Structure 1
Amino acid sequence: MFRTTRPLRFGDCDPSGIAYFPSYLNILVGVTEDFFASLGFPWKAMNDERRIGVPTVRLDLTFSRPGFQGDDLDFALAVRGIGRSSLDMEHTVSARSTVLWTAKQRVVATSLDNHASCAWPDDIRAALTQHLETTDAHHPAT
């Protein structure tokens, strides 16, 4: 599981100091980008040298508790499935030892030349497969 922490800043919140949910999406993109970088595949190199993009094609969010300005958001990213061109991830975001929100996200490897899906290159697939989690306490395997 990939883990990282991000601060919830003033600009991420509404005037009352509660997280503005679109800001969560911007932060989530950065976490996903950092995950790929941790595998050795920074998005800039993927975009510029390999001409591969990783757009989100599905995103399901569930908000449980509010986040507040000054919170440290703890992200846990789990890889749940790898298709020919797709990658399914689950995110759990906590602060103050409490889950604030969860997300199920699907990204797809896409050619930046023709904007069509493309198979994950073997090296990226191998790195993603090393992080594949098929079971955990919340999602028992069937």
Structure 2
Amino acid sequence: MPFRTSRPLRFGDCDPSGIAYFPSYLNILVGVLEEFFGDAGAPWKDLIAERRIGTPTVRLDLTFAHPGFHGDTLDFELFVRRIGRSSLDLEHKVSAAGTLLWSARHSVVATSLDTHKSLAWPDDLRAALESRLET
């Protein structure tokens, strides 16, 4: 089952014509990813401050299908597609009023914030991610 959440497309996320400015989508996506990890029992505040684990993006491939407009409600679906030793492959589908606006393939990696090297997902976090793995 995908993780689902919604975000408004605000005035500041759009160009002067009222169409979503695509870099704003990436900023919004970071918030969705943070919410996903929190929902999985691993709030970024704890990962960063206490466990010293980062989750940087190493690959992001976006496909735009339709424009988004100021005032739209963006509906996000986040699918866990693969879990590696330290990597996590995700798929995002973003729609407004039932119309797909854009989709993305997204890879993040667990890293040590002290050494900046990849590290294996801790057992508790791996288990939480595996429970969300799409089969």
**TM-score, length of structure 2 as denominator length:** 0.99
* Corresponding position: 1:8 with 2:9: yes
Per-residue deviation, 1:96 = 1.5
1:101 counterpart = 2:102? yes
1:125 offset after TM fit, Å? 0.1
Q: Distance in 1 between matches of 2:48 and 2:5?
A: 23
RMSD: 0.4
Give distance in 2, aligned partners of 1:57 and 1:85. Answer: 12
The match for 2:128 is 127
Which residue matches 1:55? 56
1:29 corresponds to which residue? 30
Pair 1:19 & 2:20 matched: yes
Q: Percent of aligned pairs with the same residue?
A: 73
The superposition leaves residues 15-62 of structure 1 with CA deviations (integer Å, 9 ceiling, x where unpaired) of 000000000000000000000000111001000100000000000000
Which amino acid in the other structure matches residue 73 of structure 1? Answer: L
Q: Distance in 2 between matches of 1:32 and 1:46?
A: 13
Separation of aligned partners in 1, 2:125 and 2:74: 27
- Consecutive aligned runs of 4 or more in structure 1 exceeding 4 Å deviation: none
Normalized against structure 1, the TM-score is what? 0.94
Alpha-carbon distance in 1 for matches of 2:112, 2:37? 17
Take 1:108 and 1:93, find their aligned partners in 2: how far apart are those partners?
22
State the alpha-carbon separation in 2 of the partners of residues 81 and 60 from structure 1: 16
Q: How does 1:113-124 map to 2 (within 5 A)?
A: 113-124=114-125
Amino acid of the structure 2 residue aligned with 1:12? D
* 1:53-76 C-alpha deviation (Å, 9 max, x unpaired): 000000000000000000000000
Letter in structure 2 aligned against 1:30: G
- Give 5+ residue unaligned stretches, structure 1: 135-142
Q: Runs of 5+ in structure 2 lacking a partner?
A: none
